[in-house]
Amino acid sequence: MWSWVAHRVTGVLIFFFLFVHVLDTALVRVSPEAYDEVVATYKTPLVALLEYGLVAAILFHALNGLRVIAVDFWSKGTRYQKQMLWAVVGVWVVLMIGALYPVLGHAAAEVFGS
Amino acid sequence: MSNNTVKTDTAASGIGPVEGDSLYSVDNPAPVIEPPRQRTKKTPRSTRGNFELYAWLFMRLSGVVLVVLVIGHLVVQLVLDGGVQKIGFAFVAGRWASPFWQVWDLLMLWLAMLHGTIGLRTIINDYAERANTRVWLKGLLYTATVFTILLGTLVIFTFDPNIR
């Protein structure tokens, strides 16, 4: 039930970001300066934190989506759905720890000094 | 004597005395039950297609492909080679010089937009209770989808590294 709610919430969040992301990328057709100026905001510490949240939403939606597919198409999917949910949460935690440095490393260095 | 009465009782209710033992045979066929509504030549053909089935299937197929495309995209943009700090016009120009990344981004754009649109359509159908609200929200959704897919496709195909 809660994995279903989380799947919907993360799906909507990712979809709204996708609109913004296509629009900001479209600025490459305006001018290199316009694009670089907007992308500079993506490099600030606050937006880096939002990016980490976006990565969290995408990874959960991807892993839980694979679980939904397994429940739908694998004959033993419904029997193991709970174990698969724990696997999703486990892999998600590992990947989120792995994403800490690549996504937040630069922002942390900027905020706390390096 | 008592055994006999039990047999007639069960036969009347249509259940055989032994479970799994058919009451009917070639000599004693089961009664034919007429379908309540017969299709005739005048019956209009069903106008319902299989859209919901195809949409359901598309979500699963595109989902698998998107897992690969989007996670690959995240690794290239946010992890490798300095993460988000390296991104700029020059980086985009370098990547889109290769048809491989053009096709990657084009496929990701189309699949992600359609996947998200079908997903949001389901959510609108679930939570917008008034028919009018549903029509307007879905109209807005489809307009935004068509605009964004066309804009993104145009940008990928007409990208000019020597714009300035």
Instruction: Give B126-148 pLDDT, tens digit per residue.
Output: 999 999 999 999 999 999 999 99
pLDDT bin (cut points 50, 70, 90) of residue B6 is very low
- Assign domain A2-112 to its CATH architecture: Up-down Bundle (1.20)
Is the confidence at residue A51, as pLDDT, over 80? yes
Confidence of residue B153 (pLDDT cuts 50, 70, 90): very high
Could you give the CA distance from residue B87 to residue B82 in angstroms, rounded to a whole number? 9
What CA–CA distance (Å, rounded) separates B29 from B32? 9
B140 touches chain A (CB under 8 A): no
Set out the domains of chain B in order of their start, with CATH numbers.
51-158 (1.20.1300.10)
Does residue B9 surpass a pLDDT of 70? no
What are the residues of chain A with a beta carbon less than 8 Å away from any beta carbon of chain B? 8, 11-12, 14-15, 18-19, 22-23, 25-26, 28-29, 31-33, 35-36, 39, 42-43, 48, 51, 55, 58-59, 62, 65-66, 68-69, 72-73, 99, 102-103, 105-106
Query: Within chain A, what is the greatest distance between any pair of CA atoms?
Result: 55
The reported pLDDT for the residue numbered B47 is 67
Per-residue pLDDT tens over the stretch B32-80:
888 777 777 777 777 678 899 999 999 999 999 999 999 999 999 888 8
Query: What ipTM describes this predicted complex?
Result: 0.90
Relative orientation angle of helices A45-73 and A2-26, to the nearest 10 degrees: 130
Q: Tell me the two tokens of residue B13.
A: 């209710």
pLDDT digits (tens, 9 = 90+) for B89-103: 889 999 999 999 999
| Domain spans, chain A | 2-112
